[in-house]
């Protein structure tokens, strides 16, 4: 299995590129974000690779960084999301934006990707929400709490949810509101109240 390629960028195609490794051209399929990061033809490039072996073909999917590769694999755990749909989503949104949209329950944000309708976007959010634990707001607040205090109590999670709802009611997209409150809570710490989270969230949005 091919896990990584380092060579010379030979050419670009529609959603793909050819990398020349010691005289052998490897065709990789990639998101528009990764293709944009490869630079100009003739330059040296290095990409992480996911190899898909099927009865009728072997496809190589390239990624500029490990985070995008991990998100590519995570998206395909959802029923109905194949490699093509996963690359489409990664072309429209960064891995951080995808995880934030899932954590915030913002299926609409995922529909920015070509070929992803409301039904599939909703399924992605529903099936991945429990897998977004590493970026959940509660975990981040607990990480900023002083040693010995442990995890953030439930009322803090309620304050976070209320602060997000308040920003949504002001007209901000849910994922944008989630990100702003997320950042405000990390800065303010475990004792932040609702007013502080709303004010902090608005400052984040204005910065």
Each of the 207 residues of the chain gets a pLDDT tens digit; together they read: 899 999 999 999 999 999 999 999 999 999 999 999 999 999 999 999 999 998 888 999 999 999 999 999 999 999 999 999 999 999 999 988 898 888 888 899 999 999 999 999 999 999 998 776 444 444 443 444 444 433 443 444 678 888 888 888 888 888 788 888 888 888 887 678 888 888 888 988 887
Q: Which helix (DSSP H) or strand (DSSP E) does residue 147 occupy?
A: none
d(CA 96, CA 94): 5
Residue 2 near residue 49, CB atoms below 8 Å: yes
Q: Which helix (DSSP H) or strand (DSSP E) does residue 50 occupy?
A: strand 44-53
Cα dihedral 206, 33, 168, 158 sign: negative
Q: Is the whole model's pTM more than 0.75, yes or no?
A: no
Reported as half-sphere exposure (CB side, CA atoms, 13 A), residue 204 has a value of 23
For residue 91 the two structure tokens come to 């072309």
């Amino acid at each position: 299995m091919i896990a990584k390629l380092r060579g010379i960028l030979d050419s670009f195609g529609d959603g793909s590129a050819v990398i020349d490794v010691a005289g052998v051209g490897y065709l990789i399929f990639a998101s528009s974000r990764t293709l944009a990061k490869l630079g100009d033809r003739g330059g040296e490039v290095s990409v992480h690779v996911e190899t898909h072996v099927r009865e009728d073909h072997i496809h190589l999917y390239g990624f500029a960084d490990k985070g995008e590769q991990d998100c590519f694999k995570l998206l395909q755990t959802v029923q109905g999301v194949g490699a093509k749909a996963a690359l489409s989503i990664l072309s429209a949104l960064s891995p951080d934006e995808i995880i934030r949209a899932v954590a915030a329950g913002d299926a609409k944000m995922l529909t920015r990707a070509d070929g992803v309708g409301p039904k599939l976007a909703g399924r992605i959010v529903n099936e991945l929400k429990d897998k977004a634990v590493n970026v959940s707001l509660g975990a981040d607040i607990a990480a900023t709490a002083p040693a010995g205090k442990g995890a953030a109590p439930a009322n803090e999670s309620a304050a976070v949810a209320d602060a997000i709802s308040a920003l949504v009611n002001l007209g901000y997209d849910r994922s944008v509101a989630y990100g702003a409150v997320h950042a405000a809570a990390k800065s303010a710490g475990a004792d932040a109240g609702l007013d502080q989270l709303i004010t902090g969230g608005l400052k984040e949005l204005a910065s």
